[in-house]
Amino acid sequence: MRALEANFDGLVGPTHNYGGLSYGNVASSNNSARPSNPKQAAQQGLLKMKSLHDLGMLQGVLAPQSRPDLNTLRRLGFTGSDSQVVQKVAKKDPALLASCYSASSMWTANAATISPSSDCPDGRLHFTPANLVNRFHRSIEHDTTGLILRATFANEDHFSHHQALPSSDHFGDEGAANHTRFCQSYGKTGVEFFVYGQHAFNGQAPNPTKYPARQSLEASQAVARLHGLKDEQVVFAQQNPDVIDAGVFHNDVIAVGNGNVSFYHQLAFLNTQKVNHNLQQAMTNMGNGKMQFIEVPDDQVSVQDAVTSYLFNSQLLSLPHLNDGKMGIVVPQECLENIKVSAYLDQLIASDSAIEEILVFDLKQSMSNGGGPACLRLRVVLNEAEQAAVNPACIMSDSLFSGLMAWTEKHYRDTLSESDLADPQLITESHRALDELTQILDLGSVYDFQF
């Protein structure tokens, strides 16, 4: 059955702000406490979704989470009405309030790890929400993520939804940001590539010394087991700890793949030669053809340039108008503002690699928190029956785009500062917006507030 890759982007929630919450994510630290523009953030994301839809890609929308997370605040001992809870936290612990107000679920590459049905022995598509234990503000996402995924992919004959892994650093899991699937064509059994930052149980060196390694090998192994993947179709690889210490907090900041193409920085992995050998071996095991490795040399694009421009946080897309395995690359505009990266991209397009076309987007609001084009999307390979089983209200269309643009105009602020988070009015605004969204996206009750 014909299969294709859909991208489900996270809709940026109404409380998008710069909390400085992600140690090891350089942009998040550098922009801490700057005022944000939630409306612009949401609209920049919607414009990317609409453009890819216009190019004939199947584009989905994943709903944001309800913020502030009042349940978590109550669990932490804050009492009273919703506005009393928020006012008490604002006084006692503004950093906690920012965490519970974060719109970080917009980076849906971290929502879950997904294995397409053609990779799984039960013929269903498997989802494991990521526990995101490493950062507190993200560790409170996975329960609602699971509900939103179930509401979007609501058919047990086709979709198998797992629980997130146990919430401990031993099983630290950051989802699809550290997972890539390679294949000859989407409908064929492919190879699943899991990249981890540390061994959790035997503490085997080398580990990063400055910034945290968010993903453990043990978490990646557990996800592969849950999805029923065979040993011969799976490759595990360790990230180079030095690049984690240089600000590469997820592998998708330094590598991306699609089809049989692996596009990565020379210093991305601990032992690149072995990694590439294992990938090719697994492709051969599964009856797929040759991999195309596009390695970007450090003397052309340094790790620092990769981190600031987000060259590798791009989407490699098999655009419908391109033939013979050719792809487009979706990059943030920061790539064109960096002379070295821009020169590299020119050279890449002129070469005879599979990457043939560049698409550039202004995603500055998300980029300023360390989230580029690839962070904003969750890839879901779907065959025709599965496409028909997805909640149709979550699929991008001209009318959904104009509906969501109007919805952001109606409900979103165009500036939000740290001090605004204490404003009780923001709770009502956020609830009102999300209540209306559940109807637009036909989600049922995924949120726990009463409105």
> Which of the residues are catalytic?
174, 250, 375
Task: Pick between residue 40 and residue 391 the one whose CB is nearest to ligand SUG.
Answer: 40
Q: Which stretch binds ligand SUG (CB under 6 A): 105-113, 204-212, 293-301, 399-407?
A: 105-113
Reading the block at residue 54, the tokens are 């216009």
d(CA 87, CA 91) in angstroms, rounded, equals 6
Please tell me whether residue 110 binds ligand SUG under the rule CB under 6 A.
yes
Which of the residues 238 through 277 are near ligand SUG (CB under 6 A)? 249-250, 252-253
Please tell me whether residue 15 binds ligand SUG under the rule CB under 6 A.
no
Please tell me whether residue 279 binds ligand SUG under the rule CB under 6 A.
no
Residue 287 backbone class (left: φ over 0; alpha: ψ -120 to 50; beta: rest):
left
Task: Pick between residue 187 and residue 373 the one whose CB is nearest to ligand SUG.
Answer: 373
| Shortest CB 26 distance to ligand SUG, Å | 10
How many of the chain's residues bind ligand SUG (CB under 6 A)? Answer: 23
Please tell me whether residue 48 binds ligand SUG under the rule CB under 6 A.
no
| Shortest CB 18 distance to ligand SUG, Å | 5
Q: What are phi and psi of 230, to 5 degrees?
A: -85, 145
Q: Which stretch binds ligand SUG (CB under 6 A): 15-23, 41-49, 222-230, 347-355?
A: 15-23
Site string for ligand SUG, 351-370 (x = CB under 6 A): ------------------xx
| Shortest CB 17 distance to ligand SUG, Å | 6
Q: What are phi and psi of 133, to 5 degrees?
A: -70, -20
Rounded to the nearest 10 degrees, the angle between the axes of helix 38-54 and helix 398-411 is 180
Candidate list 10, 14, 20, 38; residue touching ligand SUG; CB under 6 A: 20
| Shortest CB 67 distance to ligand SUG, Å | 11
- Strand ranges of the sheet holding 255-258, from the earlier edge strand across to the other edge: 255-258, 261-265, 292-296
d(CA 185, CA 116) in angstroms, rounded, equals 12
Handedness of CA 428, 433, 436, 442 (dihedral sign): negative
Please tell me whether residue 14 binds ligand SUG under the rule CB under 6 A.
no
Which of the residues 121 through 140 are near ligand SUG (CB under 6 A)? 135, 138
Candidate list 7, 40, 43, 104; residue touching ligand SUG; CB under 6 A: 104
| Shortest CB 158 distance to ligand SUG, Å | 26
Residue 444: how many CB atoms within 10 A of its CB? 12
| Shortest CB 101 distance to ligand SUG, Å | 9
Task: Pick between residue 102 and residue 144 the one whose CB is nearest to ligand SUG.
Answer: 102
Q: Which stretch binds ligand SUG (CB under 6 A): 17-25, 50-58, 383-391, 409-417?
A: 17-25
Task: Pick between residue 140 and residue 434 the one whose CB is nearest to ligand SUG.
Answer: 140
Which of the residues 22 through 41 are near ligand SUG (CB under 6 A)? 22, 25, 28
Please tell me whether residue 102 binds ligand SUG under the rule CB under 6 A.
yes
Please tell me whether residue 109 binds ligand SUG under the rule CB under 6 A.
yes
Task: Pick between residue 17 and residue 233 the one whose CB is nearest to ligand SUG.
Answer: 17
- Judged by the rule CB under 6 A, the positions of this chain that interact with ligand SUG are 18-22, 25, 28, 102, 104, 107, 109-110, 135, 138, 177, 249-250, 252-253, 369-371, 375
